[in-house]
Structure 1
Amino acid sequence: MKTVENKNSIDPASGAIIMAIGIFLYAAIDAFTWVNHITAKILIVSLIVLTAIIYKSLIQQLFNKTDRILLLRKPVPSFVIGSWIAGISVMSNVIVKYFPDKSEAVQVVMLLNTLMWLGFMASCVYQFKELLKRPTAHPTNGVVLLSTVATQSVVIFWVKLYPSLPEGLLIGAISLGAFFYFIGITLMIVRYGRGSRWTLIDDWPSTNCIIHGALSITGLAIVSSEMLSGRIIMIFWLLVFVLLIGVEWLEMVRAVKRIQKLGWKKGIFTYHISQWSRNFTFGMFYAFTMTMHDTPYYLNRFYSFHEEFLHVWAWIVCLFLIAEIGLWVGSNRYLLERKSKERVS
């Protein structure tokens, strides 16, 4: 959670931790029948505490002029604010699911989150304009697609708690998220296709998995709203599935190359905040598939395949999350031990 430059500052991308754990507790955890409701609630309360700790630090840095300027002056890193919005949205959905009596309090939080989203949208428009001026001059990556993730995360909550919202508003918001995705993916294609020379090891960050993750959450927003026909959604799901396989195949190739160059520990078993994006995208694809599978409106010829796929994918989501938590805990223990030694010396 701490930045490299300042061990006392929280990494601006720490909202991704809440996104990743939250989406697991919202969807994939239901596949594990041995996790009873009480255990799930204990996990939720623990996540609420962690959310409060993380967002307290994030808000403090946002109100610090120096930290705010450092975050907003570079077009690409500024998009991590989208993880803050998506984190709150996912957390809000989790709370409403397990503590429905707290929905009124959650609505207040989401009102503030919606206002932050509106500010973030203004920032996205400005930053995209800056990136489009010189598309090959910036190391554009999947972080810019958090503009889509943040937008669709807000829509999903609106649909859940405000089913009477005008359809035009929902269509407009989902379309805005899709528009941002189109701009972001175009910039990434230009960056990797026409930009300076790059290598898979050094220039393909974990956040590029948001290529499929942003589409998964778009699909979840559409399915939750029961928009589009079952056939179109089936084709859309196939597109996301193909992208997931393609991007994660690249990740496996990258992992092999990193192991060959850096060894197992530095190659794949060293913690980095961006790794949480993979846990979120895996969990979001599960949520998209599960909701599509459980909605009679979208019954299709993939129904039986989805049934089996969800059983397998739930374990993949769970195991990757456990591994990431292990790396995170190990990293923070290392930092605490180093701080302790520094005090002693």
Structure 2
Amino acid sequence: MLIILMLACIIVGLMTTHTYRRKSDMPTAAGSILMVGGIFIQGAWGELTGLSVYSYATSALVILLIAIWIYLLLGYITSIRKDEFYAIHLADPVGRFAIGTWIAGTSILLITIYTSFPSSWVYETVLILAVMTIGLWIFFMYWVVKSMIDIAKMQAGRHVHGIVLLATVATQSIAMLLYDIFGHSEAMLIICRLLIGWGLVLYVVLASLMIYRYVRYAWNTADQSQSNNVMMYGALAITGVAVIETSSWTPSSVSILWWISLAVLLVVECIEMIRAVMRIRRHGWKTAVGTYDVTQWSRIFTIGIFNLFTWRLISMNSSSIMNASLANLQMSVVIITAGMMVILLIWQCVLSVDAFVHRPVVAEVPVQRIPHVHSRKMK
């Protein structure tokens, strides 16, 4: 394990050097990589391999995620150092919702670390980072409310898309973080339920803005490369995981939420398939599906979180009598979504490496030193 940790540190060091030599504009939504990794370890990884969270292979994946988290953090610190943080991450009233990936990604990562490394010093470290993540969520909620006001004032509704639902995803991830890290007391359970309720309120409001945008304004699916609209079912799925985790709802209510999530998934993914075909016909395979886009991590996350939601629902209902057809359907969903997640994850990793290698280098401008000229008085 020490060797794995040393290798991870070397990788982070090399990537950090690479970051300072390249552009500093780390995408705001890059935190979705952590969301995907954490959900993959908690869900599909165990389902497909049968390995426990304490295995060496799982620990190696968690350490790799920690290395990626450090690399992303350094990228964002670089934007602060170069006075570009606001322009890149906060200036756009819609784009700033992507900060939710930092919160959700960090929360899921901390839960994964806490589960895989059950030691006192790890818990203390996770506890400190959890408090900082909660503070970041409060900061994010301020900007969420401000964005809603800005969208209303600036008539920016025509630019609203699924990225806004990251407000719900971030909130539900905080609810799970509190419940898993800070204990299962009655007071904590009440706080978690309030957070889940607040997340659903955000979902209703922001999803309504999305629907209004697509009904009110003209749009062309073939010209849009982003896949953020998959958050429409991803936000519902993580809500389902949160309510199961905290035992906040009755089994029947959770089942209703699962059916709603499944229906939204089918509608959204059918639209995405049509959009993919249109993009291939218009732009070709390379541009349509062979070009790296950070928002594609969102699709992998939403499929992964729905997989985890379904798996947790099956586990919750294992002690009760279930309809055989329903049980077979849900197990089929788990298998299909796990396979989809693995295929998409491999493809996205290939595109990520290619984009990282061919990232444009920022030329260093040499500083010209002007010699100091002493003024002499004319006699």
TM-score, normalisation: structure 2: 0.83
Matched, 1:307 2:337: no
Matched, 1:235 2:259: no
1:95 is matched with which residue: 113, 129, 134? 113
Structure 1 pair 119–242 and aligned structure 2 pair: CA distance change class (3 A): same
Matched, 1:109 2:133: no
Q: Which residue of 1 aligns with 2:7?
A: none
Which whole-Å CA distance do the structure 1 matches of 2:162 and 2:203 have between them? 10
Which whole-Å CA distance do the structure 1 matches of 2:355 and 2:88 have between them? 25
Alpha-carbon shift at residue 138 of structure 1 (Å): 4.0
Q: How do residues 158-169 of structure 1 correspond to structure 2 at under 5 angstroms?
A: 158-161=178-181, 162-166=183-187, 167-169=189-191
Matched, 1:7 2:31: no
Matched-pair contact (CA < 8 Å) for 2:225–2:288: no
Choose 1 or 2 for highest CA Rg: 2
Matched-pair contact (CA < 8 Å) for 1:136–1:191: no
Q: How do residues 105-254 of structure 1 correspond to structure 2 at under 5 angstroms?
A: 105-133=125-153, 135=155, 137-161=157-181, 162-166=183-187, 167-195=189-217, 197-203=218-224, 205-254=226-275
Matched, 1:280 2:280: no
Which whole-Å CA distance do the structure 2 matches of 1:12 and 1:144 have between them? 13
Alpha-carbon shift at residue 62 of structure 1 (Å): 4.6
Alpha-carbon shift at residue 157 of structure 1 (Å): 1.5
Q: Which residue of 2 aligns with 1:72?
A: 90
Q: For structure 1, which segment, 300-309 or 177-186, has the greater mean C-alpha deviation from structure 2 after superposition?
A: 300-309
Structure 1 pair 298–136 and aligned structure 2 pair: CA distance change class (3 A): farther
Matched, 1:57 2:75: yes
Structure 1 pair 180–298 and aligned structure 2 pair: CA distance change class (3 A): farther
Matched, 1:318 2:342: yes
Give the residue type in structure 1 aligned to 2:45: I
Matched-pair contact (CA < 8 Å) for 2:172–2:195: yes
Larger RCO, structure (CA 8 Å, separation 6 or more): 1
Q: Which residue of 2 aligns with 1:22?
A: 38
Which whole-Å CA distance do the structure 2 matches of 1:324 and 1:132 have between them? 35
Q: Please list every run of 5 or more consecutive structure 2 residues that lacks an aligned counterpart in the other structure.
A: 1-14, 365-379
Which whole-Å CA distance do the structure 2 matches of 1:165 and 1:60 have between them? 42
Give the residue type in structure 2 aligned to 1:49: A
Matched-pair contact (CA < 8 Å) for 1:141–1:205: no
Q: Which residue of 1 aligns with 2:4?
A: none
Structure 1 pair 26–59 and aligned structure 2 pair: CA distance change class (3 A): farther
Alpha-carbon shift at residue 159 of structure 1 (Å): 1.7
Which whole-Å CA distance do the structure 1 matches of 2:319 and 2:299 have between them? 27
Alignment coverage as a number of residue pairs: 337
Matched-pair contact (CA < 8 Å) for 2:176–2:245: yes
TM-score, normalisation: structure 1: 0.90
Instruction: Compute the RMSD of aligned alpha carbons.
Output: 2.4
Q: Which residue of 2 aligns with 1:291?
A: 312
Q: Please list every run of 5 or more consecutive structure 1 residues that lacks an aligned counterpart in the other structure.
A: none
